[in-house]
Chain A
Amino acid sequence: MEQSYIQITIDGREIMAKEGQSIVEAARDHGVVIPTLCDFKSLPPAGTCRVCMVQIGGRIVPGCTTPVSFGMVILNDTDDLRNLRKGLIEMLFVEGNHMCPTCEKSGNCELQNLAYQYGMLVPRFPFLFPHRKIESHLPHLLIEHNRCIQCLRCVRGVKAKDGHEIFGFIQRGINIRVTIDSTDPDALTEETAQKAMDICPVGALIKKKTGFKLPIGKRRYDVNGNG
């Protein structure tokens, strides 16, 4: 079937978006940056982090789960949106325990990078200092729950070799946690652990044994704020 295009506007700029695309995808195709955390390449969108909120008319909608439609006029850069996004980033910082200086992902961390981009000096909310676990029983992967932002990327994108689900969500509300199938420790190979670490936007999933291969200062966001 032939791909049809529809015209949308982002911050006054006219864009020809592919029909069926989300706002985030259309923007990305045309070099317009809408910040994202839970969104990842080809994975189906989750809509957990909400930092891609954009404004359409009087409504604020998530860019990752909202499909483009003809003549859509989108605002992506307003004071209100900047404040909302910054607020969401701050919420993520206070609900977990994010100690950037000691984190293997520092410089490669999407949350840290967004906090810099949005000029977060100190969160406006009080820190919750939750008691969270570090799971170290798996041979190839460390799960550092203190840093997890429950974005669902691993749950959506990392499966066992035979395709079965190994990551999932347990509990609910503030106690929601990522979990891994502990009945089958062999399902998580070294290769899968690397994939999990790469897909994780923060330092919650860390591949064991190697660390700090690329020195701080030369990492993704150290070089370029837009990655």
Chain B
Amino acid sequence: MISPEMRLQIAEIVTQYHFEQTELLAVLSAVQKKWRFISADMIAVIAEEMDLPVVHVEGTASFYHFFSTQHAGKYTVYINQSATAEMAGLKEIIYAFESELGITIGDNSSDNQIGLRTTSCIGMADQEPAILINGTVFTSITPSRVSELVAGMKSNSLVRDLVRIPLEAQKCYPTLHTEVRNNIRLKGPVFFCDYIPGIALKKAMELGSLDVIEWIKKSGLRGRGGAGFPTGQKWASCLASESDQRFVICNGDEGEPGTFKDRVLLTELPEMIFEGMTLAGYSVEAKEGILYLRAEYSYLREHLEVLLESMRSRHLLGRRILGTRFSFDIRIKEGAGAYICGEESALIESAEGKRGQPRNRPPFPVTSGYLRRPTVVNNPETLGCALRIILNGPEWFRSLGTPASAGVKLLSIAGDCRMPGIYEIEWGKTIREILDLCGADRTLAVQIGGPSGTCISEKEFDRRICYSDLSTGGAFTVFSRDRDLLSIVHNYMKFFRDESCGFCVPCRAGNVLLVKALEKIMSGNGTLTDLDKIQELGIMVKKTSRCGLGQTSPHPLLSTLNSFSEIYRDIVRKDVDYLSQFNLESAVEDS
């Protein structure tokens, strides 16, 4: 049973969030942070206080990775297990933590002081291995650093005091206390050049909302999150939807393994992104904006809140912006660990305080989005591009890139190259040119657009980064010839299996079956027939899944079966047509 004090404290948290049902994630995060777990009893109290069905609170609490029913440790260490972390020595780091603490992943030290967990990519692919301790990011971890961190946690240090800020960063960000580096390697004309706040917004207001949308349409700007939907058309549809209220949401749930450019944008250029949101708000006649920030980036929260406050004081946000009749404000909502919330309708559900399950479409968010009102959901990079289009004109933007893919793209380059980091390139560059830029040689394969994208081999290095050839949300992960591609594919497939929301059958069951099928191949018990079966199942999952996750999750397998079929063919048995996945000897041993 729950103590009266705890009940009172939970009630206080709920009151802080004004009993708003849409703030359930924030309430759950606060409870998890304070007590380090959310028990069934606590769920019942939260439900009662917020006037929500118990099953709703339980459903939401159990959906997100960073909430737990069991004690997660006073210090919760989340070791990110992305493919790039594996390449940078993840195994040694896990071993170091486990032997320092004498426990295994998933356990707590006996006094519940330290809990050891794993998590999906945390957006630090250029500085792996990276981990989170109570929401604070630690990067480029080595086994000796693990000893220091463990000693610090054992002696009850503040997590903040364990952070080692790189020298070059100390002056730049007074509101940030982090060891995360930005690694901007190539600057370009849209993002990493002069930016003076307020000018674009002023110009937009002179143009009027219809002309702004016209300019965005003319510029050829398409969504930079990966799906590539024409931005002008999205804004126009939102504006055309009858409603008393509209919303602009900036999708800061950058979860695709290997991408980190939104993290850098929100660190370096948040004002540009916020002004872009305001500009979108002006165009679609919205008054409220929400930045949905993934929990892994919560260390940026204060940095962003301070800036929002400063923008309000400069009349760039809030009531009567720049002395006009236009009012618009932005608030931040945090996720709690779920890749699927990068999908726009899942993000909206999550922002409403629910399980991050995608919605059925139609209706689309532009007609029925946040709180069932017309909503524009844009990637931060898209909003930044829109702002620059208003500053420099649609023709200027069109002159960059290729005729069908206008403008620039931010690439998050990581893996086997000498200069991992952010590159602002014009669309149309070949893979070979980019590999030269980032200092990659002896390259076996490049994963374009993360696991949900395409894996290409050297034969295809003359292909181009553009919407009509290799479309991408920005991840560009390089694998050298020393890498075992199948273990990378395995990592990616497990990622999708773990991040599927489970709502529809093909994504829920299909991804588990695909991982199993791959493991059979990797164990040396696969046959040529099994390869055909993987192909068939992969296509089935793609065709029948409900949202983008399942529609792309088989890509790591399908795309390497296409570009690197010899790797599979080399390890399957060619002497038999069929081998059972069931091994009698090992089953007897297990039992």
Interface residues of chain A, those whose CB is within 8 Å of chain B, are 45-50, 53, 60, 62, 65, 67, 84, 87-88, 91-92, 94-95, 124-126, 128, 149-150, 164-176, 179-184
Contacts and interface: CB of A to CB of B under 8 A. Distances in A.
B544 A67 contact: no
A167 B40 CA distance: 16
Interface of B: 40, 44, 53-56, 58-59, 62-63, 338, 355, 360-362, 497-506, 508-513, 516, 533, 537, 540, 543-546, 581-582
A95 B544 contact: no
**Best-surrounded residue of A167, A170, A184 (most CB of chain B within 10 A):** A170
Given A84-B540, A94-B509, A95-B508, A174 B362 contact: no
A85 to B, nearest CB: 9
24 contacts: A47-B360, A47-B504, A47-B546, A49-B504, A50-B545, A50-B546, A92-B505, A92-B509, A94-B513, A125-B537, A126-B516, A126-B581, A128-B513, A165-B55, A168-B59, A169-B59, A170-B62, A172-B338, A172-B501, A173-B498, A174-B500, A175-B502, A176-B503, A176-B508
Contacts of B56: 165, 168
B540 A174 contact: no
A138 to B, nearest CB: 14
Nearest to B64: A172
Contacts, number: 126
B499 A87 contact: no
Nearest to B516: A126
B58 A168 contact: yes
A174 B509 contact: yes
A49 B63 contact: no
Q: Which 9 A-B pairs have the closest CB atoms?
A: A168-B55, A176-B502, A165-B53, A91-B509, A95-B509, A65-B360, A170-B62, A173-B502, A168-B59
A174 B360 contact: no
B63 A168 contact: no
Contacts of A184: 54
A150 B505 CA distance: 8
B44 to A, nearest CB: 5
Nearest to B502: A176
A126 B510 CA distance: 11
A179 to B, nearest CB: 6
Nearest to A85: B544
A50 B509 contact: no
A168 B354 CA distance: 12
A128 B510 CA distance: 11
Contacts of A53: 543-544
Contact of B505 (A49, A179, A182): A49
A88 B63 CA distance: 24
Given A50-B506, A53-B543, A60-B544, A173 B58 contact: no
A18 B33 CA distance: 52
Contacts of A124: 533
A167 B510 contact: no
Given A50-B505, A125-B537, A181-B55, A169 B355 contact: yes
B540 A87 contact: yes
Contact of B504 (A48, A87, A164, A182): A48
Contact of A48 (B44, B54, B505): B505
A84 B538 CA distance: 11
Contacts of B497: 173-174
Contacts of B508: 95, 150, 173-174, 176
B94 to A, nearest CB: 22
Contact of A174 (B44, B53, B502, B581): B502
B48 to A, nearest CB: 9
Contact of A45 (B360, B511, B537, B582): B360
Contacts of A180: 55
Contacts of B338: 172
Nearest to B581: A126
B21 to A, nearest CB: 13
Contacts of A150: 502-503, 505, 508
A180 B54 CA distance: 9
A126 B55 contact: no
Contacts of B62: 170-172
